Structure 1
């Protein structure tokens, strides 16, 4: 690692939040990235190769909501960056909102209404392996400076290295645990889709759309809605279609 990478690594790991529970490290990355990159917030989604979220972390509640909206709508910078394996750099989200038929027709207006003005997404990857995405959020229009862009890329690299190092040290906490969560989340999501499909007599894809729409309308996390459906605390009735 070069000197700057060592500096960023030390900034992330110096806080006690970077140790202990498995998501503590990711939360500390988000908080440190937001501060060092002059951002209003940051979020991380750890994802499987199928694009399903396994665990998330954020620097603050607003960033958590901006991160969650992407999975409610099934679109956004995080999902694009993960799929393309390349950073997604949007210096003015208003331009995306204003473009007719542009990218993220649902996420962009919702995020913009929530105060987001610029977003920068960086894949967490090593070789062919993709672990997730680091999103950097700003409440003002404008690009990252060259130095900030370099630091953001370093944050992504350091995060991957820290997660792998953590797994090697502890043997039972790290990437494997996060991927276990991802598999469990995916199975639960598919079960919820199937239940709503039967309840409403619709296709599996339409069931997913209904679940996402409900989560957005009720301002709830998609994972919480999914768990309620599986636990039969929430049911979709045909007369609500």
Structure 2
């Protein structure tokens, strides 16, 4: 693709967002990304406390790959959020990228994702999340496409920051714009707190236990957290 220029990119994003309710904005942003870049999937994640929080995904596969990084605590998305700099995996089947994120690279490649570009939303000082781009073919984005991607990351950041903040007394749409993907991850934080109380450990250790147990059971950390919150699983049970 040819670099379209900031005004043209902003115009297409604005076109996608026209008439969107707050809860529709994250998904519309992914739709705009697919219109503007030669990528097969895209997702947007917020930077949570110790893990990314999936906000929107262009499809089921993008959602799976994003959730995979949440469960593992590892991958391009996590690294971009931590460093505040773009992270590119040109070929997840290559030794270089497979060694950087061994489990993530293997499982993402298994569903057909060969290359990833994760762009921070913000910068190293204030990074609110990441825009993640997935392709079926190996290789980095062309220079013009990368420039477009950086502009998109800036526009996505501005759009998310402009969304209304939830108020405790507000039952309306503005108070629930994180639904449906991100809202479910509240259970992960609840589960972390419950594991902390059950075992008398710190939050980072509790999250690591959840991740390790999820990986061992071949499930996601979100699904495992639901078991903890609904009391179907206790970490102080000697059989766990």
Normalising by structure 1, what TM-score? 0.77
Determine if contact 1:52/1:182 at 8 Å carries over to the other structure. no
- Asked if residue 33 in structure 1 is aligned to residue 33 in structure 2, the reply is yes
Provide closer, same or farther for how the CA distance between residues 4 and 112 of structure 1 changes in structure 2, counting only shifts above 3 A: same
**Counterpart-to-counterpart distance in 1, 2:10 and 2:33:** 11
Q: How does 1:217-228 map to 2 (within 5 A)?
A: 220-228=219-227
Residue 131 of structure 2 aligns with which residue? 134
- How much has 1:81 moved relative to structure 2? 0.6
**Counterpart-to-counterpart distance in 1, 2:76 and 2:82:** 10
**Counterpart-to-counterpart distance in 2, 1:238 and 1:17:** 54
Residue 55 of structure 2 aligns with which residue? 56
Q: Size of the alignment, in residue pairs?
A: 228
Residue 7 of structure 2 aligns with which residue? 6
String of CA shifts for 1:20-75, please: whole Å, max 9, x gaps.
143x2111222221332111101111114x44334421000000000111111110
Residue 193 of structure 2 aligns with which residue? 191
- How much has 1:10 moved relative to structure 2? 3.0
Structure 1, unmatched stretches of 5+, are: none
Determine if contact 2:113/2:136 at 8 Å carries over to the other structure. yes
Provide closer, same or farther for how the CA distance between residues 14 and 203 of structure 1 changes in structure 2, counting only shifts above 3 A: closer
- Equivalent residue of 2:64, what SS? helix
- Asked if residue 154 in structure 1 is aligned to residue 151 in structure 2, the reply is yes
Residue 46 of structure 2 aligns with which residue? 46
RMSD: 3.6
Determine if contact 1:43/1:57 at 8 Å carries over to the other structure. yes
Provide closer, same or farther for how the CA distance between residues 96 and 19 of structure 1 changes in structure 2, counting only shifts above 3 A: farther
Provide closer, same or farther for how the CA distance between residues 167 and 7 of structure 1 changes in structure 2, counting only shifts above 3 A: farther
Normalising by structure 2, what TM-score? 0.77
- Equivalent residue of 2:112, what SS? coil
**Counterpart-to-counterpart distance in 1, 2:183 and 2:60:** 21
- Equivalent residue of 1:93, what SS? coil
Structure 2, unmatched stretches of 5+, are: none
Determine if contact 1:188/1:227 at 8 Å carries over to the other structure. no
Q: How does 1:45-124 map to 2 (within 5 A)?
A: 45-48=45-48, 50-96=49-95, 102-124=99-121
- How much has 1:134 moved relative to structure 2? 0.5
Query: Which is helix-richer, 1 or 2?
Result: 1
Provide closer, same or farther for how the CA distance between residues 132 and 10 of structure 1 changes in structure 2, counting only shifts above 3 A: same
